[in-house]
Amino acid sequence: MNLSRRRFIHTTALAAGGIAVSSPGYAAMSEGLSAPEAARPLFVATWPFGQPANERSLEVFAGSGSLLDAVEEGIKVPEADPDNASVGLGGIPNADGAVQLDACIMDGEGQRAGSVAALEGILHPISVARRVMDDTKHVMLAGEGARQFALAQGFASVDLLTDQRRGEWEQWREKQHQPDNHDTIALVGLDADGRLAGGCSTSGWGYKLPGRVGDSPIIGSGLYVDAQVGAAGATGLGENVMRYCASFLIVEYMRQGLHPEDACLETIRRIAAADPRPAEDLAINFVALDKQGRYGAAGTGQGFEYAVAYPGYSEVLQSTGVSNADIGPEGGNRR
């Protein structure tokens, strides 16, 4: 595994009141990334589109002081972006041409969680998940029940299928090619009081079977937060995440003392060692941060890009990657 591939792709210095400068560059590898002790809140999110989400989270936290509000509002950024094919409005539909959304939110404080699965026609599934957490006795609502709950809560009914995605879906119906989109946003945060929270939102596997639910709304799979330890979130092929409760596993590795990046790596190795397919084909990626403000990520193959932000700083980084060569003989998953 080539740890030196960790690369700073976009570095954005945030001045009070706005983004000041953007300077791509490279940084020497450290033993493990961590934010300065005073650098709170700290947000870590999947993919480059996690960067504007993180920056919105910083803004919202500065105004409200609420980590949950910050997580929710950050995730609403890609949900509202019609050009993002993997999250919310403009997401790739299922095989029937319906955009079905999965999302969850989790508060380390009190181990609270809310989740929606296969939700149609609502712009912000993360906000519906928050309402499930805050206003019901349940953790998860699915399908039409989730939609009726959202409407009863005052969420507007919207058409999430953009003209572009409709056109692509019509072409797909002719050719049945499978797009490779599992670019979920998972965003986890830590504040100065040591409070942890996270959220996750996706339109899931493009042209999936109607009713298919991925890892993203499953607590412990697409997202997990433990108030005493840290938080982790996933992006990639949900079927290869949810069979292993991967985010929970990452948090448990952090509980044992692993740096978040190592916890992500160890989880991928363990999954890859158990799975008959080559690691490169699993298409799974994780972000994590711990209560000390250490953070990291790892993905299969070449890894993936993820975003980190705290006051005065916002970056997109290249994660470490795990290939089959890193798994070792006999499926052994130890370094």
Site of interaction with ligand GLY (CB under 6 A)? 182, 184, 202, 204-205, 214-216, 235-238
How far, in Å, CA of 152 to CA of 122, rounded? 12
Q: Which of 77/117 has CB closer to ligand GLY? A: 117
CB of 37 to ligand GLY, least distance (A): 33
Residues in the chain: 335
User: Which one of 12, 184, 235, 320 is the catalytic residue?
Assistant: 184
Q: Is-catalytic flag, 12?
A: no
Q: Which of 14/250 has CB closer to ligand GLY? A: 250
Residue 149 phi/psi, 5-degree rounding, is: -60, -45
Q: Which of 21/209 has CB closer to ligand GLY? A: 209
Burial of 145 (0-12, 13-18, 19+ CB in 10 A): middle
Contacts of 223 (CB under 8 A, 6+ apart): 104, 106, 186, 188, 198, 199, 200, 216, 231, 232, 233, 234, 247
CB of 99 to ligand GLY, least distance (A): 13
DSSP conformation class of 318: E
Q: Which of 24/179 has CB closer to ligand GLY? A: 179
How far, in Å, CA of 113 to CA of 185, rounded? 17
Residue type at 264 in one-letter notation: C
Report helix angle 125-135 to 67-79, nearest 10. Answer: 150
Q: Is 41 helix (H, G, I), strand (E, B) or coil?
A: coil
How far, in Å, CA of 137 to CA of 153, rounded? 15
CB of 284 to ligand GLY, least distance (A): 8
CB of 215 to ligand GLY, least distance (A): 5
Cis peptide before 41 (omega within 30 of 0): yes
Q: Which of 205/310 has CB closer to ligand GLY? A: 205
CB of 179 to ligand GLY, least distance (A): 12
Angle at 254 between CA 271 and CA 299, to 5 degrees: 40
Q: Which of 12/181 has CB closer to ligand GLY? A: 181
Active site residues: 184
